[in-house]
Structure 1
Amino acid sequence: MTDARLGQRLRRGRGSLALSFFAQGVAFALLVTRIPAVQDRYGISDALLPAFLAAVPILAGVGSVVTERLVRRIAPSAVLRWSQPVVMLALLGVAAGTDVWQVAVALGVFGLAVGALDASMNMLGVSLQRAYGRSIMLGFHAAYSLGGIAGASLAWAGAHWDLSLLVSYLPVVGVLLPVVLVGSRWYADQERVPQTQDVAPGERDGAGVGFRLLLPFCLVMAFAYIGDSTVSNWSAKYLQDVLGSSEEVATVPYNAYMVTTLLGRAVGDLGVRRFGAVAVVRCGTVLAAAGFAVVAVAPGPAVGILGFTLLGFGLCVIVPQTFAAAGRRAVEAGGPGASDAAVARLNIFNYVGFLVGSPLVGALGDAWSYRWAMVVPMVLVLVTLRYARSFGAEPAGYGGGHERPRIVDVGRGGNEV
């Protein structure tokens, strides 16, 4: 395969994967922003609702574990190609049911498929970044953030015009489903290790990637999502109940957070290429901690919104860089197949942080005060500074002034350029 043809394949793979990230952002936002409507439709009590909500990330963790095993035998692109339509169809199932057991099944399928989808998307993103030889991972997550903003806007429109869940979801799924299926034709997997090739044990399936290697990244991932879930679940309540804002103003912090997350990820790759991953992660960590500090001491709504805005700029870079760094370190330690295994295992801590964050802040707020509760995710996020050197990317040439295309890592049949 020539340089031009392989380069074109990589560009198509990058575009199609960005589309998948965008579609997943839309689908997830449509679900989480209309939880009250789901609750009303099925008559789910306030006492039972947390069990339904907790089941989704728990099952997503199971889906991520299953994906780690699946990709030992099939390409991540195959997992992504079929898990994304299942997510969208499960979303329709949530909207179309009439009994509680039906929404329970739909949410269960959604959770399992989301775990497989998140893991396989990030596997492909990490391998494409390695092939490009420069930071592109933040761009994929920027597409996810853009999809989240679009999905939340569509959900707002549905709620504003009092549309049923099915009427809100069906046109979106009807458009996105065929688009992602067509786009999936151009997914670009990393080159597979031939079964006849003599490789060390663990290189083919990533079994050589130990917990000790991944521990720093697992902690960083969990703490970042504790911070993220704090914003998504508590920003409105904090502004209204603690800082005395109106109900309308209380919706602003999360919107500001989403927008700054998008902006930060849109330019984040340029920062990594110029200054290196370590510097960008450190800067993001300091900004995120400063955001929580500002929120904790804010005298009024305006300063509180400023704090949540800083949080968006800070937290947005941490998760994509954690996936990228863990995948790279896994390849160095465990061989060609180790990256996929590392991403799948790391992805579980996405859901761990999501599960822990909201109850943690709520419990501390009720028992202590919500101002002091904001200090806890601030301290946890600062732990990232302890592990920032683990994000060093010198072997891949990021930010060192010597980037080059490394398209030999991605191919169809073992061709190299």
Structure 2
Amino acid sequence: MTDGLAGLPVGLRRGRAALAFSFLAQGVAFALLVTRIPAVQDRYGVSDALLPVFLAAVPILAGAGSVLTERLVRRVRPSRVLRWSQPVVLLALLGVGAGERMVELGVALAAFGLAVGALDASMNMLGVSLQRSYGRSIMLSFHAAYSLGGIGGASLAWVGAHWDMALWVSYLPVVLVLLPAALLGSRWYVDGGGEPLGPGEPGAGGAVGFRWLLPFCLVMCFAYIGDSTVSNWSAKYLQDVLGSSEQLATVPYNVYMVTTLLGRVIGDLGVRRFGAAAVVRGGALVAAAGFAVVAVAPGAWVGMLGFTLLGVGLCVLVPQTFAAAGRHAVDRYGPGASDAAVARLNVFNYVGFLVGSPLVGALGDAWSYRGAMLVPMVLVLVTLVYARSFAAQPDRYGGGHERPRTADVGRGSNGL
């Protein structure tokens, strides 16, 4: 059965909607955790010295979860990994809010981290394969749903903090709504990458090379260094360096999230019109301009303009990196290799997150915070060196969806 308006199978459209909801739910869950860190710290009596250990453990375990997922999807479809990892994330979030002892917090965060790695990897696997089935850029729309969920989760966290709700009271209604909805939506997930790879097939058993993937890993890492710089340092920078009020210092990250959402909503149209390589180049240049404006800003309002530019520029890099890496893996090894590439690439999401905040903090203390902002600016500009890796091959596209030069994902001889 096909949808006459779009000319696409109804199953693909349902799969896209279900996956978009999964991205949204993950955005809500992650925002609810990270924005209530002070409340978590107070509930469990976590000292300031011990807090960084807990915070670092989550992305480290998430990286391990992504690596495990690469191995797991050799035997089962990514949709099954996603179907069961998302409930674990939501239940672990509730466990963080409901526990009373430090060991319970550790167990809940460990479960959250491992499940988030599996969830992030499997979501992006499905996103890349669905985009390939569509024959046109849709990857940014999934990440737009994540950004929307992040804004919603942060708003719910504000409500919980404003009304002084216990963590479990704040988390429980969200879990009760999202968990059954996610399980219901999982019925329509679409695995577009083919059957799991057998042990003798190209791309199986770790045969997917790493050297060709390295440029994408670097772009992913640099993008998350930039993102973590905004999320961890924007408020402090505006207040301590640019002399804003405490209330005004909370605005840049909210503006950044909103512009990230808007950029991703329209980003797929840009990819279809100009091509992925051009969009990545444009995003890198705008992000670098944002860091430059922040570094030289004479006051808070100019600084906020810089953070706004960062949202517009950085928002396109991560989705397009997943898409391009998945396409290149298919071109080299066949359809099933895309999942392995996405899982490996996803690890550098967490590498960038771990490196970014300490890097800027150390440079800020040793040098200056204005100077520290120039480092992620330079790293983002390095993306320009690798931008041509995002370009589509003209003979890899078909299905009549759009012109070959505009697409960011295509159909090769081994494709769908």
Q: Same fold (TM over 0.5)?
A: yes
Q: 1:216 to 1:408 in 2, by over 3 A?
A: closer
1:250 partner letter? A
Shift in Å, 1:345: 0.1
Equivalent residue letter for 1:80? L
Which residue of the partner structure matches residue 350 of structure 2?
351
Q: Does 1:334 align with 2:336?
A: no
Which residue does the alignment assign to 1:363? 362
SS in 2 for 1:202: coil
Quickly say closer, same or farther: Cα 1:377–1:280, change in 2 above 3 A: same
* In the alignment, structure 1 residue 307 sits paired with structure 2 residue 306: yes
Distance 1:303 1:40, change over 3 A: same
What SS is found at the alignment partner of 1:348? helix
* Counterpart position of 1:202: 202
CA contact (8 A) 2:239 2:246 kept: yes
Paired residues of 1:261 and 1:313 also in contact (CA < 8 A): yes
Secondary structure of residue in 1 paired with 2:190: coil
Count residues with an aligned counterpart.
409
- Aligned counterparts, 1:97-116, within 5 A: 97-116=99-118
Q: Please say if 1:174 is aligned against 2:176.
A: yes
What is the aligned partner in structure 2 of residue 239 from structure 1?
238
2:157 is the counterpart of 1:158: no
Query: What is the TM-score normalised by the length of structure 2?
Result: 0.94
Q: Is the 8 A contact 2:271 2:406 kept in 1?
A: no
Q: Is the 8 A contact 2:392 2:408 kept in 1?
A: no
> Could you list the per-position Cα deviations for residues 73-116 of structure 1 after superposition, in whole angstroms to 9, with x for gaps in the alignment?
00000000000000000000000000001001100000000000
* Contact 1:134 1:396 (8 Å CA) reproduced: no
Paired amino acid for 1:323: F
AA matched with 1:114: V
User: Once the 2 structures are TM-superposed, how far is the Cα of residue 207 of structure 1 from its aligned partner?
Assistant: 3.1
The residue that corresponds to 1:93 in the other structure is 95
Rounded Cα–Cα distance in structure 2 between residues aligned with 1:194 and 1:106: 31
The 1:158–1:201 alpha-carbon spacing in structure 2 relative to 1, beyond 3 Å, is same
Q: Is the 8 A contact 2:8 2:134 kept in 1?
A: no
Answer yes or no: is the 8 Å Cα contact 2:129–2:193 preserved in 1.
no
How far apart are the structure 2 equivalents of 1:64 and 1:314? Answer: 26
Partner SS for 2:246: coil
Q: In percent, how many aligned pairs have the same letter? A: 77
CA shift for structure 1 position 318: 0.2
Give how far 1:210 is off: 1.0
**Alignment partner for residue 58 of structure 2, among 53, 56, 61?**
56
**Does residue 35 in structure 1 map to residue 28 in structure 2?**
no
Flag structure 2 segments of 5+ consecutive residues without an equivalent.
none
CA separation of 1:2 and 1:60: change in aligned 2, threshold 3 A: same
Residues 269-313 of structure 1: CA distance to partner in whole angstroms, max 9, x if unpaired?
000000000100000000000000000000000000000000000
Please say if residues 129 and 136 of structure 1, whose CA atoms lie closer than 8 Å, have aligned partners that are also in contact: yes
Q: Tell me, what secondary structure is at the counterpart of 2:75? A: coil
Cα distance, 1:405 vs structure 2 = 11
Which whole-Å deviations, capped at 9, do the CAs of 1:232-281 have from their partners, x for residues lacking one?
Answer: 00000000000000000000000000000000000000000000001000
2:234–2:252 contact (8 Å) kept in structure 1: yes
Please give the residue correspondences for 1:217-366 in structure 2 after superposition, counting only pairs within 5 Å. Answer: 217-366=216-365
1:45 aligns with 2:52: no
Residue 391 (structure 2) pairs with residue 392 (structure 1) = yes
Match of 1:22 in 2: 24
Shift of 1:350: 0.1
Deviation at 1:400, TM superposition (A): 3.8
In structure 1, distance between residues paired with 2:168 and 2:265: 32
Contact 2:97 2:171 in 1 (8 A): yes
Q: Distance in 2 between matches of 1:333 and 1:403?
A: 18
Give, in whole Å, the separation in 2 of the partners of 1:264 and 1:314.
Answer: 8
- The Cα of 1:406 is off from its aligned counterpart by 8.0
What CA RMSD, in Å, does the superposition of the two structures yield over aligned residues?
2.3
The AA in structure 2 aligned to 1:99 is R
Instruction: Name the SS of the counterpart of 1:189 in structure 2.
Output: coil
1:77 alignment partner AA? S
Q: Answer whether contact 2:271 2:407 (CA < 8 A) is retained.
A: no
1:406/1:263 Cα in 2 relative to 1: closer, same or farther (>3 Å)? same
Contact 1:190 1:410 survives alignment (8 Å): no
Contact 1:207–1:338 (Cα < 8 Å) also in 2: no
Moved more, 156-165 or 318-327: 156-165
Q: Deviations over 1:195-228 (max 9, x none)?
A: 79xx97424x273321111000000000000000
Report if the CA contact (8 A) 2:390-2:408 is conserved.
no
Distance 2:113 2:174 in 1: 19
Q: What CA distance in whole angstroms lies between the structure 2 residues aligned with 1:405 and 1:249?
A: 41
Question: Which of 146, 149, 158 is equivalent to 1:147?
Answer: 149
CA shift for structure 1 position 135: 0.1
Q: For the structure 1 residues 182 and 17, does the alpha-carbon distance in structure 2 shift closer, same or farther, using more than 3 Å as the test?
A: same
CA distance in structure 1 between the partners assigned to 2:70 and 2:195 by the alignment = 16
Query: Separation in 2 of the partners of 1:69 and 1:82?
Result: 16
Specify every segment of 5 or more residues in structure 1 that has no aligned partner in the other structure, as ranges: none
CA distance in 2, matches of 1:225, 1:404: 21
Partner of 1:81, secondary structure, is helix
Distance in 2 separating the partners of 1:389 and 1:137: 19
